[in-house]
A and B are shown apart, each in its own frame.
Chain A
Amino acid sequence: MLMKGTAARMGVMKRVSLVFKAKANKALDKMEDPRETLDYSYQRQLEMLTKVRRGVADVATSRKRLELQMNQLQQQSNKYDDQARKALGLGREDLAREALTRKATVQGQINDMSTQYAQLQGEEEKLTVASQRLQAKVDAFRTRKETIKATYTAAEAQTRINEAFSGISEEMGDVGMAIQRAEDKTAQMQARAGAIDELMASGALDDSIGGRRDDIQSELDMLSANSDVESELNRLRGELSAGAPKQLEGGSNGSQTGQPQTGQSQAPPTQYAPPPPQAPPYVPPVQDGQPTGLPVADVPQDGDVS
């Protein structure tokens, strides 16, 4: 403890205040005429006011961007929730599980972003208050400046100018640091937000969340399409069995005669995507002319042709 004799036991608070004062004095020393100090300083104050206001606007922009992204992610999360519901309805617990896993990942991202959002909000509030404080001090300085100019000679004014100057310069230093801190936080967040925007734009966000893009959706679509196909098939079967019982299995089974379409075709509907072997044998009936019984069932009005 004794090794540093300089300002060892002065305390942090005193030392920081001296650093600020030294800064102000250095600026003061550069000025030849104290009145020049007043005007020059006032210009700097106005610049700082502009800067802090721009800082508030920048933080607000970042905050809004974050808000937008959170909304987009929330939509994504809702979509996964819907998918999970649908998948369960179709008896696909595995798909539902996958959708919910992705939902949890997205939700995690949203939570992270809420924390950042709160931080940005905090910075925005701090900067807003800082700009109001600085505004009040700048106004006070302007009044003081005019009074000093009107009342005192240059020599007399010196002490008063010094006091006003170090008061405002401390505030400027404080506000300047606040702007810097807000900028740093905003920059970090913007980098992250930019990355997420890019992912969203490229459609790769689903990739990063897990799996191929919308593969759950396409599987769900396929499942419901399959069930549509299934009911269509049943309808066709119904039509066919009404008119032409023999034609159905004739192509593949060939030798087997009699009643091939008993339970066989009905067995796999839920498990498999049903192969559509029924269509091809149905097409050529007219050309072949082989099965005599068929064409009749085909279309009733065909009598005129050839």
Chain B
Amino acid sequence: MIVRILGEGQFRVDDIIADELNHLDTELETAVERGDEAAFSAALTGLLAQVHAQGSPLPPDILEPSDLILPHEDSSMDEVRKLLTDEGLIPG
């Protein structure tokens, strides 16, 4: 599957680690819901590390949409919240 990290580009990631990613992603989501800053940054850091370690960057001339999209490395919780509701964070 293809994972995009915002601000970095796309990575092809083996489906085998999907479970691991989903686990961390659930933690991330819970953290955002609860407004738990520490859990948020731990989960986000973990997700980014996994994709960096397990994924291989996709050539830039590939025109495939991503299956999953990860927030920016330095995202605040507030930014992620806005991303989820699409409050104009994605231009055009």
Contact = CB atoms under 8 A, between A and B. Distances in A.
Interface residues of A, number: 44
Given A19-B84, A133-B9, A140 B62 contact: yes
B60 A9 contact: no
Contacts of A9: 26, 29
Given A12-B25, A13-B47, A167 B64 contact: yes
Interface residues of B, number: 37
Contacts of B64: 163, 167
B38 interface: no
A126 B8 CA distance: 8
Given A16-B84, A17-B68, A173 B90 contact: yes
B22 to A, nearest CB: 6
A136 B60 contact: yes
Interface of A: 1, 9-17, 19-24, 44, 48, 126, 129-130, 132-133, 136-137, 139-141, 144, 163-164, 166-168, 170, 172-174, 176-181
23 contacts: A9-B29, A11-B25, A11-B29, A13-B21, A13-B25, A15-B84, A16-B71, A16-B83, A16-B84, A17-B4, A19-B83, A44-B92, A48-B92, A136-B60, A137-B62, A137-B63, A164-B63, A166-B65, A173-B91, A174-B6, A174-B7, A174-B9, A177-B91
